[in-house]
Amino acid sequence: MQRYRALARFSIAAGLVGSCVAVGFFFYPGAVVSAQQQGRDPSQTLSTNIPDGFTVASVGDIILNHPATQSPENKPIAAILGAADMAMGNFEGAIVDYRRYKVPQNIISHYWALDGEPGVAKDLKEMGIKMVGRANNHQSDWGIDGARETAHWLDDAGIIHAGDGETRDLAREARFYDTPKGRVGLISLTSSISDPQQIAINANGKVPARPGLNPLRVVRFTNVTTEQMDALRKIHDAYAYGAEAGLNQKVAASSLSAPVFHFPVQLGPDELYLFGTFYKIGDKPGFSYKMNPLDEREILQSVRDAKQNCDFLIVTIHAHEAPADFLSKISKEAIDAGADEWVGTGPHRMLGVEIYKNRPIFHSLGDLFFEINLAVQPSSQEEFEDSSDPAVTDDAVFAANFWNHVGLAPIYQSAIVVSKFDKNQLSEIRIYPIELGWERRDADRGSPRIASAEMAQTILKTQQKYSQEYGTKVEIEGNVGVIRVAPQSNAASQKQQQ
Q: What is the pLDDT along the chain (498 residues), one digit of tens a residue?
A: 455 455 445 454 445 444 444 444 344 444 444 544 555 566 678 889 999 999 999 999 999 988 988 889 899 999 999 999 999 999 999 998 877 776 654 455 555 678 899 999 999 999 999 999 999 999 988 889 889 999 999 999 999 999 999 999 999 999 999 999 999 999 999 999 988 889 999 999 999 999 999 999 999 999 999 999 999 999 998 887 666 655 544 443 333 333 445 678 889 999 999 988 999 999 999 999 999 999 999 999 999 999 999 999 999 999 999 999 999 999 999 999 999 999 999 999 999 999 999 999 999 999 999 987 655 566 666 666 666 666 666 666 766 666 655 467 888 999 999 999 999 999 999 999 999 998 887 778 899 999 999 999 999 999 999 999 999 999 999 999 999 999 875 444 444 333
**In 36-75, which ranges are E strands?**
54-63
Give the H/E segment covering residue 414: strand 413-422
Residue of 28, 15, 48, 6 lying closest to 314 (CA atoms): 48
Return the axis-axis angle of helices 119-127 and 143-157, rounded to nearest 10°. 40
Residue (of 259, 288, 257) closest to 408 by Cα position: 257
CB burial class (10 A; 0-12, 13-18, 19+) of residue 140?
A: buried
Q: Which amino acid is at 226?
A: T
Q: Is the bond leading into 67 cis (omega within 30 degrees of zero)?
A: no
Query: Whole-angstrom distance between the N-terminal and C-terminal Cα of the chain?
Result: 57
- DSSP letter assigned to residue 483: E
**Could you give the CA distance from residue 384 to residue 391 in angstroms, rounded to a whole number?**
9
Give φ, ψ of 355 to 5 degrees: -110, 125
Taking alpha carbons only, the member of 140, 155, 144, 249 closest to residue 190 is 140
Q: Is 354 helix (H, G, I), strand (E, B) or coil?
A: strand
- 338 φψ region: left (φ > 0), alpha (ψ -120 to 50), beta (else): left
What is the distance between the alpha carbons of residues 460 and 469, in angstroms, rounded to a whole number? 15
* β-bridge mates for residue 87, sequence order: 57
pLDDT at 196: 87
Let me know if 319 is exposed, middle or buried by CB neighbors in 10 A (0-12, 13-18, 19+): buried
Q: In the prediction, which pLDDT does 10 show?
A: 45
CA distance 429 to 452: 20
